[in-house]
Every structure is written in C-alpha cells, then in structure tokens.
Amino acid sequence: MGRFSGRVAIVTGGSSGIGAAVVARLVSEGARVTIADLNAPDEESDAVAFTATDVASADAVAATVDATKERWGRLDILVNNAGVGAFGPVPDMEQEAWERVFAVNSTAIFLFCRAAVPAMRENGGAIINIASISGLYGDYFMSAYNASKGAVVNFTRSLALECAPHGIRVNALCPGLVETPLIGPSLSTPESRDAWCSRIPLRRPAQPEEMAGVVAFLASDDASYMTGSIVTADGGLTAHTVSPTSPNCGAFGSRKPVEPARLCLPSVCIGTTMNMP
C-alpha cells in the first residue's frame, strides 16, 4: 500500500518536466492521476488519464475537474504546475505577452482551485501550487514571470486560511533551477551551464524527480500540519546574499582582530572584541 493508495490527483502541465515527474511519483505511490495539459503524455495507463485542457479557460478547467470526479469518484490532490514565461525589458513587452503569462501562471491556479475546492471538501485534501524562487525575488528582464509567481505565493497563503476549516491544506513549492525541457537550452553548453551553476551552492541544477519528491511530501499525511507554507528547493541559491564567495574579499577577508567594539544599552556598556572567522 502506497501513501496515496485510493487517492485521486490532478496535475496540470503533467506531460513533461516537473509535472511528468510528479505524475510518475504519485502513481508509484498508489495514486490515480488526471493530467491536465494541452499536450498528451508519452503514455497513459489504468492509473493515468489525460484530459486536453487549456488551463486558462474556466470552462475547460471545470470540465477537467468534473471528468476526474466522474471517472474516479473523488479528488484528493491538486498540483498546479503548468507555467510559461516571457523575457524582455518592460518598455518592449507586449501587453498580450504579459497577460498570457498571468493567465497560465496565476489565473489558471485560481480557476483550478475554485473548481477543485468544493470537490475536496468531503474528504479533505492537499493543494500544491508550483511557484518559483522568482516569485520571491527579482530577475533581470523577467518582470511578468516574477510578478505572476509572486501572485501565486500570496494566493497560496490566502487560500490556505480559507481552506483550513475544511481539512484542505494549501502549500507552495518554489523551485530554483530545474533541468527541464524549458530550461534545457540555457544549459546546453559547458560555459552556460557553469554560469548558471556557479551561483548555486550545490553547484548543479535540480532534476524534476527531486521536485516531485517535495511535492509528494506536501501531498502526503507526513505534511499533515503544514498549510500556508512556502517551501523553497533551490540548492541553497537563496540562502546567501550577493556578497563575494571568497573569504578573502574586502574587509571580511582580512582575518585580523578589529578594535574592541562597545555595545551600548540603556543602562550598561559591554566591551567586546570581534574576531572575523
């Protein structure tokens, strides 16, 4: 018996990348899964059904949720994974591109949650929204993507408050650099790969299966006390500031004792000597 035996999930964007890895992981642990995507997966099975879905269409989303309940009788897990990006400076960005990014990355999550929450109230469940570390910080020339993923982060928190009384947990996963077909071209040469990975403490991109493991945890009873959480899985990328990586750079690299510093409080001054590591 797997952790998800008897449970039913919907995974948007489940035909490739992180979504495909999530589908495989949930099925391996006993779940039955509906893939909501415009592109069909490589294969289907008794445990995997594909529904061609424009995730930005309210009618298509409602039909996918209804079809899942009709096929398997329930809905326990929703993984909102589908996403797109747009690259370029704000003055050059077409409004249509901005709106498409928000339609897929943000509005689609609202539409699926709106349709799925009533279906999950009977048995409770888990919703996992795939955001991004780009929803926590800024990137050059990625304003639409950053803004849309930031919306996902706070939507997750708000929905978690609404759903908690119904036993529905809502969390977000913020991946860092993940080696998917979408990001693959950016890692296609040793130089470009090194440029990306040199900023990551673990010195490599994540694999989709690693993100699927986090999603499976958040969907499982092992995370039963987690809701409204924003989980980062980025190889340590957001754990540091922009300070140089070398310990011998600037003042913090001198490794010499500095003059005693005095910490002044309202009623006492304490003399301390600071030694830089």
Residues recognised as catalytic? 145
How would DSSP label each residue in the chain? --TTTT-EEEEETTTSHHHHHHHHHHHHTT-EEEEEESS--S--BTTEEEEE--TT-HHHHHHHHHHHHHHHS---EEEE-------S-GGG--HHHHHHHHIIIIIHHHHHHHHHHHHHTTT-EEEEEE--GGGTS--TT-HHHHHHHHHHHHHHHHHHHHHGGGTEEEEEEEE-SB--TTTGGGGSSHHHHHHHHTTSTT-SPBPHHHHHHHHHHHHSGGGTT--S-EEEESTTGGGS-SS-SSTTSGGGG---PPPPEEEE-SS-EEEE-----
